Structure 1
């Protein structure tokens, strides 16, 4: 084939390609492979409805409420966490839900404001203070302190070992939802003493939690609505009598 003939064939092929590009029906693109064009927002859809739909998509993708520490979140993650957080029932049957005590006198109630020691030595005072700690989600501090007090009253070696193990699981283990706040030094002491538990295994930890309640929770208790309501009731009863 000569050079001239090849040039004519190439020119003819080029014209056919151009003619094909100009013809819409020459080689149609399958509908499934075609890329849809953006035509803008739907005129019939209001801007607020588009905002609500986008906001719902973002919330479904990442719910920021799940990372807060409040109780307002209703998602399943936080509900499960709240169930663990509100689960305050101790395994120790020796620690009652509420200590049996008589109604405190007005002198006793007023004395609680003058001394944390007087509050903790009074069964009724411990009950009221424990109710306040429950509102702050720190009731485990009082439960741990009471459990240690019960442990000191025991004299059976087998019973002491069993109670010590339960106290450790309930309040010392990092896996427990009722874990109390202790420093590393006290934890090391407990771990050593747990090799041969005694009624004094948790003495250092009990003192640390006692100090924590005294320094941190006690001042807020004195200004709480629970204690103020108790004082008002006593004053009202005194005036009526």
Structure 2
């Protein structure tokens, strides 16, 4: 059967798109919103996103990394404390060289050791090797304070003792419990010759129980028992 004659539009096919419509078909709906004169190659490139700054994980935790500034500050403070304790301190008490009998008596009781100026000097040298010489220095400073009668001098010496051995900022701070510290803080408002009596007793007990047994078995004391005082000890 004969087909119906086609119209002129059917013979010619669909109309050719305009340049603008062709650009839309080529670029897609998102890029078609740009002006026709701007092609995808002419568009400005997207701004570069800066990389996030790298974080040092060491600074986000309480770690022991050597690069952490916080731990470095702690190490510097610890080294400064050690160096301060090892700095030359006031000379030992002037005394004669102990006799062999006196040296042997130091092993009988801690009281006999502490009543002997030569015994205190030798014990102080031993404490220095254990980085606890401040205990003896504090005890001696308290003894000196109790012998003072001038109130103006008492006030000044009490302030120095507090700053050197009680303050938590001092590298020579002695170990005191909170009860004793609280009592000192109250008495420091009106210092007296007995402001540090409780603290002195606590440090005396600490040296007796902790350091004295080790002193008796130390090479320092054994050498004195065997060979007598050294020339340096005699001069002290």
Indicate yes or no: 2:227 matched with 1:230.
no
Counterpart residue number, 2:123: 129
1:110 to 73, 79, 104: 104
**Distance of 1:218 and 1:191 partners within structure 2:** 29
Counterpart residue number, 2:95: 101
1:86 to 83, 87, 92: 83
Counterpart residue number, 2:200: 206
**Distance of 2:67 and 2:177 partners within structure 1:** 29
**Distance of 2:121 and 2:156 partners within structure 1:** 26
**Distance of 1:84 and 1:65 partners within structure 2:** 19
**Distance of 1:157 and 1:194 partners within structure 2:** 13
CA 1:123–1:64: 2 relative to 1, 3 Å? farther
Stretches of structure 1 that go unaligned for 5 or more consecutive residues are 15-26, 28-32, 34-57, 68-74, 236-241
Shift of 1:177: 1.0
CA 1:80–1:66: 2 relative to 1, 3 Å? farther
**Distance of 2:141 and 2:114 partners within structure 1:** 14
Secondary structure at the aligned position of 1:87 is classed as helix
Shift of 1:230: 2.0
Stretches of structure 2 that go unaligned for 5 or more consecutive residues are 1-12, 28-40, 42-47, 49-56, 230-236
Shift of 1:79: 4.8
**Distance of 1:101 and 1:171 partners within structure 2:** 25
Q: Larger C-alpha radius of gyration, 1 or 2? A: 2
Shift of 1:112: 0.9
**Distance of 1:214 and 1:3 partners within structure 2:** 112
TM-score by length of 1: 0.64
- 1:26-105 → structure 2 map (5 Å cutoff): 64=65, 78-88=75-85, 96-105=90-99
Whichever structure has more helix as a proportion of its residues is 1
**Distance of 2:77 and 2:189 partners within structure 1:** 34
TM-score by length of 2: 0.66
Whether the 8 Å CA contact 2:85–2:131 is kept in 1: the answer is no
* Higher RCO (Cα < 8 Å, 6 or more apart): 2
Whether the 8 Å CA contact 1:66–1:78 is kept in 2: the answer is no
